[in-house]
A and B are shown apart, each in its own frame.
Chain A
Amino acid sequence: MVRQAAVLAALAFLPAAGEAIHFRDKISWRSSIPPSEMVSVEQARGWGDTAIWVDARPDDEFASDHVPGAISLNEDRWNELLPQFLAVWSPGKKIVVYCSSLSCNASREVANRLRKEAQLSDVFVLEGGWEAWLKGNR
């Protein structure tokens, strides 16, 4: 029985590996955000004034420190903070959303809501989040 199960498990591995190769550019093994929706600190800095930085961390973390010029927009106070963000946003601007680190989900969630609910395009998630920003500025 175990041998039969092992044969089946091995057989299923072959097409799965083929599919993984086929989708290698569309799915990231490091993060749940597709590579096309992520941006590195260097790349985002290069955008200069055409980028709006959005801090998706909780209020207390934003208050203690944040990227210069960043706007706070978190899910806890979404309805309250979204109008403030939209007042700053203008068409053609790139939006860079970040949260604490590589493993946090808040930036992904906020970026998704900006795309779906606010119908905005050019929304990117900062790779490595606030931690990566700090490293890049040491």
Chain B
Amino acid sequence: MSQTPNAERPALNVELSGVPASNIKHQTSNVLWRLLDFVLAAVFIFAGLSKIFDLDHLLTALLHLRFGDALIQFRQLTAASPIEFANGIDNFKLVPWPVSVALAFYLPWLEIFCALALVFRLLYRGALILLITLMVVFTLAITAAKLRGLDITCGCFGHASQHWSFPSHLATNLTIIAGLVALSFANRSRERL
């Protein structure tokens, strides 16, 4: 007699009930850590892309839920001028202009590559340490600028962050750093198991 799908169910239930509660908890926490991986990766991919491409019109369309417009804007996506981000870095008055230019070309790609490493779990620890270092340096730089009385926009998220206040910048950066440090500890304890 052939088995029906219904006939298989009790066996499946028996198998599920056989899974120790600690394993289910472990799996749930793994899912949550992966979720945090994806959220932080999305933040850094957006941060990187917003410096490479002019995303203003695309974001406006998406925020207003005009998906047709968003698709058109996506097709017409143009490269953002790196001079804007270079000026943003230069405004901190911490590095000479040629270094600002080099960083303006380099940092967005570094953010994107690190974010992809979080998503695909390749070079994972390296990506975490790089992102934590970057975020700590950004946070120190905006704090130093504030203390020196410089009225600047960091351009960390392209035009989207142009009008953020210092407390908003600081809160965002500290939240991201906390997330990255948590991922780092979770990864370390996973490796110990």
Contact = CB atoms under 8 A, between A and B. Distances in A.
A9 B102 CA distance: 13
Interface residues of B, number: 29
B123 A7 contact: yes
Contact of B126 (A6, A16, A27, A29): A6
Interface of A: 1-9, 11-13, 15-17, 19-20, 22-23, 26-32, 34
Contacts of B98: 29-30
15 contacts: A4-B127, A5-B130, A9-B110, A12-B106, A12-B109, A13-B109, A15-B109, A16-B108, A23-B82, A23-B105, A27-B82, A27-B83, A28-B101, A32-B86, A32-B100
Given A27-B86, A34-B83, A8 B113 contact: yes
B126 A1 contact: yes
A4 B126 contact: yes
A117 B102 CA distance: 30
Contacts of A12: 106, 109-110, 112-113
B47 interface: no
Given A23-B82, A30-B98, A11 B125 contact: no
Given A8-B117, A12-B110, A20-B105, A32 B83 contact: yes
Interface in B70-98: 79, 81-83, 86-87, 90, 97-98
A19 B81 contact: no
Contacts of A20: 101-102, 105
Contacts of B125: 1, 4
Nearest to B83: A27
A13 B105 CA distance: 9
B154 interface: no
Interface string B139-150: 000000000000
Interface string B103-143: 00110111011100100000111110110000000000000
B52 interface: yes
